[in-house]
Amino acid sequence: MAGDQATGDAYQFEFAALDGGKLPLSAWRGHPILVVNTASFCGYTPQYRDLEALWKQYRDRGVIVLGVPSNDFGQQEPGSATEIKQFCETNYDVDFPLTEKYRVVGADAHPFYRWAAGVLGEGGAPRWNFHKYLIGANGQLAGTWPSGVRPTDKAITGEIDTALAGK
């Protein structure tokens, strides 16, 4: 897979779903995809609520929200797949797709995250939980936001609206 280079598009990558099965990004070809590394025990964890609101607002228009649990920052996602799923559903009514837990930084990061960092250059990798990447309908990165930018912020919804308009 070409995922170690800043070539190609996001559709070359696949994640394993938290509850089994596969989540190939190519299944959502032509749709904007917001990819967010998540954690259950972080100061930003309440952003799950915003991610779910964004998902409900835009899913009928084809936007995908994809949560990628990661234990890379502060060991704030120590749980098993079952524990993560239960936490998200019980506390935040999450029903957008969640992947298995992955590394999102460093040499062992999931290939999508190595690709995104390669495309964006130095500083393009997540620096904490709830870093956001927007994949445009063409499979290319259309935006990236750090943890402190809420998913419902106008900076993100504006880019999603632009991506939808350009479909």
What is the Cα 68 distance to its own chain's centre?
A: 6
Q: What is the rounded CA–CA span in Å between residue 94 and residue 38?
A: 12
Residue 88 is among the residues annotated as catalytic for this protein: no
Q: What is the pTM of this model?
A: 0.95
Assigned token pair, 41: 């025990």
Question: What b/e sequence results for 74-103 when a residue is b if at least 16 CB atoms lie within 10 Å of its CB, and e otherwise?
Answer: eebbebebeebbebbeeebebebbbbbbbb
Torsion, Cα 10 16 22 25, to 10 degrees, reads -10
The long-range contacts involving 50-56, CB below 8 angstroms and separated by at least 24 positions, are 50/150, 50/151, 50/152, 51/94, 51/96, 51/151, 52/92, 52/93, 52/94, 52/95, 52/96, 53/151, 53/152, 54/151, 54/152, 54/156, 54/157, 54/160, 55/95, 55/96
Question: At 61, which amino acid appears?
Answer: R
Name the class of domain 32-147.
Answer: alpha beta
Q: What is the rounded CA–CA span in Å between residue 59 and residue 94?
A: 13
Q: Report the pLDDT value the prediction gives residue 166, as an integer from 0 to 100.
A: 78
Q: Which of 6, 16, 17, 42 is the catalytic position?
A: 42
Each residue's pLDDT, cut to its tens digit, for the chain (167 residues) gives: 344 456 799 999 999 999 999 999 999 999 999 999 999 999 999 999 999 999 999 999 999 999 999 999 999 999 999 999 999 999 999 999 999 999 999 999 999 999 999 999 878 999 999 999 999 999 999 999 999 999 999 999 999 999 998 76
